[in-house]
Amino acid sequence: MNQAVLILIKPDGLKKSLTGNILTRLSETKLEIVAAKMARVSRELAEEHYKYLRDKPFFEELIKYLRGELHDRKKAMALIYWGKEAIKKCRELAGATNPEEAEPTSIRGAYGRILTSGLYENVIHVSSNEEEAAREIKLWFNPDEIIVDLYPTKENVIKDFKKKVWA
């Protein structure tokens, strides 16, 4: 069964110029990239993304981290990988949440660090199960930004809808 997984290259990954390295590592999975974009991360998006951690003492710093406020990089790169066992394959390559405990050859083991505050700066996000992947993908992407049909959609007719187009 094909699975979709949301990958985020977090602002520390971008600041350390790791995009190429990370995409090369992920290409080992032979999965297909079905969506990709740079995103500005609003507070609403960051809080919704990490809502299950709302009660943790590091939550506020985690939101700042994902928004790029700790790295002077107000952006993240969002990608969807698609294929067989996509979640397991990508999480294995990413390594453990705590970069000190991650396999040294994993992405987080190689490039992550722990801040003196205790926050894990671990370079990438990878959805951890199918339910989380669906929730996160719908949060970060619109259906027309993804080149395969992942989840059911509906058509909305929006009257007087304003949208920027090329001049």
Query: Contact between 128 and Mg ion (CB under 5 A)?
Result: yes
Query: Contact between 130 and Mg ion (CB under 5 A)?
Result: no
Enumerate residues 6+ apart whose C-beta is below 8 A from 35.
78, 79, 80, 141, 145, 146, 147
Contacting positions for ligand IDP (CB under 6 A): 53, 58, 62, 97, 118-120, 122, 125, 128
DSSP 30-41: TPEEEEEEEE--
CA distances from 129 to 6, 36, 66, 71, 109 (A): 10, 20, 20, 28, 21
Which is nearer to Mg ion, 21 or 128 (by Cβ)? 128
Active-site positions?
A: 125
Region near Mg ion per CB under 5 A, out of 13-21, 25-33, 125-133, 155-163: 125-133
Q: Are 129 and 141 in contact (CB under 8 A)?
A: no
Size, binding site for Mg ion by CB under 5 A: 1
CB of 88 to ligand IDP, least distance (A): 13
CB of 66 to ligand IDP, least distance (A): 8
CB of 10 to ligand IDP, least distance (A): 8
Mapping DSSP to helix (H, G, I), strand (E, B) and coil, where does residue 23 land?
helix
Which is nearer to Mg ion, 47 or 163 (by Cβ)? 47
Q: Write out the binding residues for Mg ion, residues 78-117 only, by CB under 5 A.
A: none
Instruction: Look at residue 120 and give the partner it binds from Mg ion, ligand IDP, none, a contact being a CB closer than 5 to 8 Å depending on partner kind.
Output: ligand IDP
CB of 90 to ligand IDP, least distance (A): 11
Residue 37, Ramachandran bin (φ over 0: left; ψ between -120 and 50: alpha; else beta):
beta
- Give the largest Cα separation in the chain, rounded: 53
- Interface with Mg ion by CB under 5 A: which residues? 128
